[in-house]
Amino acid sequence: MCVISEEAINQFGVLMEQVDEVLKTTFQNVHQGCPRDVYLRFLTAREGNVANAHKMLVDSLTWRVQNEIDDILAKPILPTELCRAIRDSQLIGMPGYTREGLPIFAFGAGLSTFDKASVHYYVQSHIQINEYRDRVVMPAASKKYGKPINKSVKVLDMTGLKLSALNQIKLLTIISSIDDLNYPEKVVAYYIVNAPYIFSACWKVVKPLLQERTRKKVQVLSGCGQDDLLKIMDYSSLPHFCRREGSGSSKYSGSLNENCYSLDHPFHQQLYDYIKQQALIRRPVRPVKQGSVHVDFPDAVTEGTEFVQTLASEFQKFEKQNGLAQSLDDLNINDHRS
């Protein structure tokens, strides 16, 4: 794992002083008063190469300006029923914090269907959560815990994972590339829980494709992962699908306040209220327009997109092999009967 030198950070800072004022303005929303953290993250993503990290950050800032990302938290998804449908099909939530103060984000990777709205709505929702995390959640956590909080933890629930779950491969690669190119190194650990055999089998093939720093972040936990996760977080911060063996990530298990995916969960209520309030502040006279935000999709191949595409390919191979094996078993049974 590369070590980022102070000289590299200082060189990066000098280069950023030379960008135009428009990019400097959006950069303020990115660094939230801590530009050094951004330099470190982008340098890490580019293995310490200052020129490559600078290009990556300038490209990201340009993407933000061209797609008005600074204003995306003032663009609510309307009507509310549509927002609720997106929450029920794009399973993301924030159940709490680790004992160190890091926000915990939960993902229902196996049961998300992404079938209630257009790709643009799901991308808009994803970016809004990213921006709310970086501009609201982390600054508030930094103040509460008395130290800089600029990274998070992700818990991925694989309940229900099968080949059909990867039908939305295009959307998954878009989201992965947006995160890789514009929000690099924001996660310190990925915890995978409720992993079925098919994931474990494919993981052996996919794991070597990841860079070493990413591989070290990923931990596949036993069962629902409760025992391991309780070492870093309180029970009240556990995602609902980790609270008992076999619970899975059922969208409607327990109360709505416990289900961190639900629009009725406190995190999503606060996020949605914040976006609606920002919309009124920005446009107090004209009614807020309905319709999705159209964001330019990156076409670059990133570590995340390669991971998703390879995982999908391995799933297909696995299911074909299993299908062939099942067909042979059925043939043998029929031969015995005859």
pLDDT digits (tens, 9 = 90+) for 252-276: 445 556 899 999 999 999 999 999 9
- 32 close to 134: Cβ distance less than 8 angstroms: yes
Radius of gyration of the chain (CA): 21
Sign of the four-CA dihedral 122, 128, 129, 131: positive
Residues belonging to the chain: 338
Kindly state the helix (H) or strand (E) to which residue 283 belongs, with its residue range.
Answer: none
Dump pLDDT digits (tens) for 153-185: 999 999 988 766 556 777 888 899 999 999 999
Short-list 53, 82, 127, 74, CA closest to 296: 127
Mean pLDDT confidence for 223-237: 96
Per-residue confidence (pLDDT) for residue 201, from 0 to 100: 79
Dump pLDDT digits (tens) for 271-310: 999 999 999 988 765 555 667 788 887 776 677 777 777 7
Per-residue confidence (pLDDT) for residue 257, from 0 to 100: 67
Dump pLDDT digits (tens) for 59-95: 999 999 999 999 999 999 999 999 999 999 999 999 9
Residue 333 has pLDDT above 70, yes or no: no
Please state, in angstroms and rounded to a whole number, the distance separating the CA atoms of residues 78 and 16: 37
Return the SS3 of 34. coil
10 Å Cβ neighbour count for 191?
22
> What 3 state SS string does 194-234 have?
CCCHHHHHHHHHHHHHCCHHHHCCEEECCCCCHHHHCCCCC
Q: For the chain, which domains are there?
A: 4-66 (1.10.8), 75-242+256-279 (3.40.525.10)
- 332 close to 243: Cβ distance less than 8 angstroms: no
Q: What share of the chain is helix, strand, coil (3-state, %, to 5)?
A: 55, 10, 35
Short-list 128, 219, 127, 137, CA closest to 179: 127
- 221 close to 185: Cβ distance less than 8 angstroms: no
Dump pLDDT digits (tens) for 1-60: 678 999 999 999 999 999 999 999 999 999 999 999 999 999 999 999 999 999 999 999
Please state, in angstroms and rounded to a whole number, the distance separating the CA atoms of residues 185 and 107: 18
> Residue 102 has what DSSP assignment?
-
